[in-house]
Each structure stands twice: as structure tokens, then as C-alpha cells.
Amino acid sequence: MKLLGYLSELTIPLVIFYIVGYGLLQKKQVYEYFVFGAEEGLRIVVRILPTLVGLMVGVGVLRASGFLDYIGGLLGQAAGQIGLSGELIPVIIVRMFSSSAATGLCLDIFKEFGPDSLLGRTVSIMMGCTETIFYTMSVYFMAVKVKKTRYTLQGALIATFAGVAASIFLAGKMG
Amino acid sequence: MENNAVSVHEYLEGILFLKVHAFSKFHWESDSSKFIEAPDNTSVFHTTYTPSFSFEFKSFFNYIIFWKYYNKNLNIFMMMNKNCRRPIEWYKKLQREPMLNLLWAGMLLVGIAYAAFTGNISLVSEAALDSAKEAVTLCISMVGVMALWTGLMHIAEETGLIAQMTKAARPIVRWLFPDIPKGHEAHEHITANMIANMLGLGWAATPSGLRAMEALGRLEEERRKTGRSRLPEAAASNEMCNFLILNISSLQLIPVTIIAYRSQYGSVNPTEIIGPVMAATACSTAAGIIYMKIRGRKRQ
């Protein structure tokens, strides 16, 4: 775990140092490139905004109605036996279908339990190590007009569950 | 070709703040392949641009500004033509989630119905308004992290760092996909897609991923013709399955957006998850690779 802690601390400084240093060695105008790219980041956020408004309102309504607590309690009884929190299961399921809806649920967990809680950490790691299975498959297979997906789904599910298990385990070890 | 023009239109909207109505009804299926085949040069852009003029300017004034910018900043347009896909791919990815339609509507309807049932209805309107406001606050605080990351990535791209990483990753791809003949174009696209995914450049990953799928489709077609493949048409080849499993196993090393969200919600140490995320990603990817290697062996 200590090694992972160092990795967390060092990654971003190292990445910045390496990229900027490499650029300077190439005698390139790094700052100009940076500013050009940063503008793009701004545009990306502007484009995320409408989605985020929509989904956060959706999750906010669900939370206020008490439905999320109800589902969490319901699933919690079943999930508690294998050491899972009931709040986690909706995120895992939704994550397979839609990345932004999962983000909405994830933000709700950050708000309710805090990003540094066990649940908050688990969700953070899980969001980082899984992908939207059904969305990715539909986009890529549609592009080449493939109808029979053969063993893709099994493989994707296996990979995703390995990721989920790892994130629950690692979050438990943190802190 | 048309789509090449569309991408330029969309970019114009961002830069000039003109109300440019690009072809508002283009669909995902029709654009994925054509979009990518469109060559990156402005001479083409010139000839195809004028006939496909289908947007409305709100006023003559805007029109003048447009031409001024267009003539003056041709080099910018050239640059944009090269880069323009990235933000737009992202946008599409967010807009075109087919499952989201039902999910979102379901959330709202179930939430309101349940609230009415349990007597929490008074809380709903407050929650809706608060959440909307919160989304905006969140985005504002996210701008910084996002801009930092895309800025760095732009440096990496322009200085050739990403190209170098792609070169370095080639042997790995060769090991993962041993059945793709040497020198086949699919190698290149798969590698580019993997690197983009690792760096969290979703908008760059999707086009190269689609190109990879198309290249793999052509490869399978060839195999079918020469009788080396007994798979029926419209079935995914082994390589396609493997590529997607790899893609879905998530290769992202630094979860930039999650870090931004964490810091917004008051995490003491937002980046503390980087290490665990790398470890968890390694687990999920390893599981995917083991599975695809086992399946690949079965067939032979």
C-alpha cells in the first residue's frame, strides 16, 4: 500500500516534469502549446455542463424522494453478506450502461458520505478502473456493422468484475 | 466529406460564437466511418466547404466577421482542421449515450412518483433546483483541472511524445494480437487507441478505435475470402472481441475527472486514489487479457 501511496503522490509531478522537460529539450514553444490545449479543456467542460445539470438533477430528485435510501437499504441487506455496501450496487450496475449517469451517482455519494469515506474511495477507484460496457460495445460494433458479438460481453464482464473487486479490496486497505 | 465540413462548423461556433447551424440531424451511424476517412488538408476543405453551405447566419454582421476571420486566420483553420475532431468526439460521446434516454427519464419519473407516495414531494423541487446549481459550481471548479490536463496533453502531442509512446507500445500490441499480419494498419490504430485511453484522452481514443475496428473488419473480410476464417458475416472476429475487451477493461492511468470531483467535494487528498486506480486497472486489464488469451487458444 505504501508503494501505491508514493505512486499517487509522484505521478502528477512526474508527468508534468516529463512532458514540459521533453518539450523544452525538443526546443518547442511549450507554453503556447499549453495555452492552446488548455482552451480546449475549457470547451470540454462547457460541453459536459448540460449533461451534468441533467444528471445531477435526476439523481438529486431520486435522493430527495428517499428512493435511493430505500434501494440502498434493500440491496444492503443482500449485499452486506458479501461485504458490499448497498449504495455501491446501483453505481456498479449503472456504470455498465452510462458513464455520465454513473458520474451522477458517484457525485451523490461524494456529497452524502464524503470522498474520503470508505464508500467514497471505493467509488472513486471503481470509476477509474471500469468502462461503460454496453455503450462502448454498441458504438464500436455498430461502426463495423457487427451483430454477433461472440465472447466480447463475457470478457468485458470478467474484466469489469475484476476491477470492481480490486477497487473494493484496495479502498479497504487505504487510509 | 460533408462531415469534415461539419467538424469545422462546430469549431467555428466555439471560436467565433456565431450561431452556426451545422447539419443538425446527422447520425452516429452515418458519420463514424466517413468522418475518419476525410483527409486532413485545407485544400479539400476549400472546395467542399462552399457547396455544403447549409447554415444560417443570424445577421449580415456575423457574416462579415466570419469572412474576416476566415481569410485572416487560415492557418488557424488549418490547425483546427487537424485538431477539430477531439472536442467534438467528446461531445458526441456524451450526447449519444443510447441508454441514457431511459435512465434519465426513469430517474426523474420514479423519483417524483416515489416522493409523492412517501410524502417527500416538498423536497423534490428544492433538490432539483439545488442540484442544477451545484452542477454549475462543479463545472466551474473543474475547468482548472481539465484545462491543466488538456494543456499538458497538447504539449505531449505537439512535441511528439505521444507518437513516441505509441511506437514504444507496438511490441505489446503485437504480443496481444499475434494473428494480425505484420505491418497491417490495424496495429497502428489499436496502439493509438490504447495510448489515448491510458492518458484519458477519450476524444482521441474514439476515432482511432473506430479506425481499428474498420481495419480489423477488412482483415476478417480478407480471411473469409481466402477461406482462413469460418466465421459468418456480421460476426465479430477474435481480434475485434479482444480489442473491445481490452478497451472495456479500462486502460486509463490517471482518472483526471474523478480527481477534480473529489477535490470539489472537499477531499483532503484528491490524488490519493491514483496509485490504487493504477493497481485496480492492472487487475481488470490482466483479467481481460487472461480471458482473451484462453479464448483465443480454444479456437486453434
Assess B54–A contact: CB distance below 8 Å, yes or no. Answer: no
* Residue ranges covered by each domain of chain B: 2-93, 100-154, 160-299
Residue A93 included in any domain:
yes
Q: Do B254 and A23 touch (CB under 8 A)?
A: no
State how far residue B169 is from chain A, nearest Cα, in angstroms.
Answer: 18
In the predicted model, residues of chain B with pLDDT beneath 70 are 1-99, 203, 298-300
The predicted pLDDT at position B97 comes to 57
Assess B108–A contact: CB distance below 8 Å, yes or no. Answer: yes
Residue A131 included in any domain:
yes
Rg (CA), chain A: 20
| Low-confidence winner among A20-29, A36-45, A78-87, B170-179 (lowest mean pLDDT) | A78-87
* CA A57/CA A92 separation, integer angstroms: 20
State how far residue B287 is from chain A, nearest Cα, in angstroms.
Answer: 5
* Nearest C-alpha neighbor of B93 from the set B190, B204, B180: B204
Assess B131–A contact: CB distance below 8 Å, yes or no. Answer: yes
Q: Could you tell me the residue range of the domain that residue A39 belongs to?
A: 29-173
pLDDT tens digit sequence for B19-76: 333 333 333 333 333 343 333 433 333 333 333 333 333 344 444 444 444 443 333 3
Assess B209–A contact: CB distance below 8 Å, yes or no. Answer: yes
What is the DSSP track for A36-48?
HHHHHHHHHHHHH
Q: Do A38 and B150 touch (CB under 8 A)?
A: yes
Q: What are B57's three cell numbers? A: 447566419
Out of A55-59, A72-76, B53-57, the most confident range is A55-59
Mean pLDDT score across all residues of chain A: 89
Q: Which of A59, A129, A130 sits opposite B107 (nearest CB)?
A: A59
pLDDT tens digit sequence for B179-190: 899 889 899 899
Distance of CA A29 to the CA centre of its chain: 33
* CA B191/CA B257 separation, integer angstroms: 23
Residue A2 included in any domain:
no
Q: Do B124 and A52 touch (CB under 8 A)?
A: no
| Nearest chain A residue to B243, by CA | A152
Residue A157 included in any domain:
yes
| Low-confidence winner among A19-28, A102-111, B223-232 (lowest mean pLDDT) | B223-232
CB distance A58 to B101 below 8 Å: no
CA angle B91, B92, B93 (to 5 degrees): 90
User: What is the tally of structural domains in chain A?
Assistant: 1
* CA B249/CA B272 separation, integer angstroms: 22
The predicted complex's ipTM stands at 0.89
Assess A53–B contact: CB distance below 8 Å, yes or no. Answer: yes
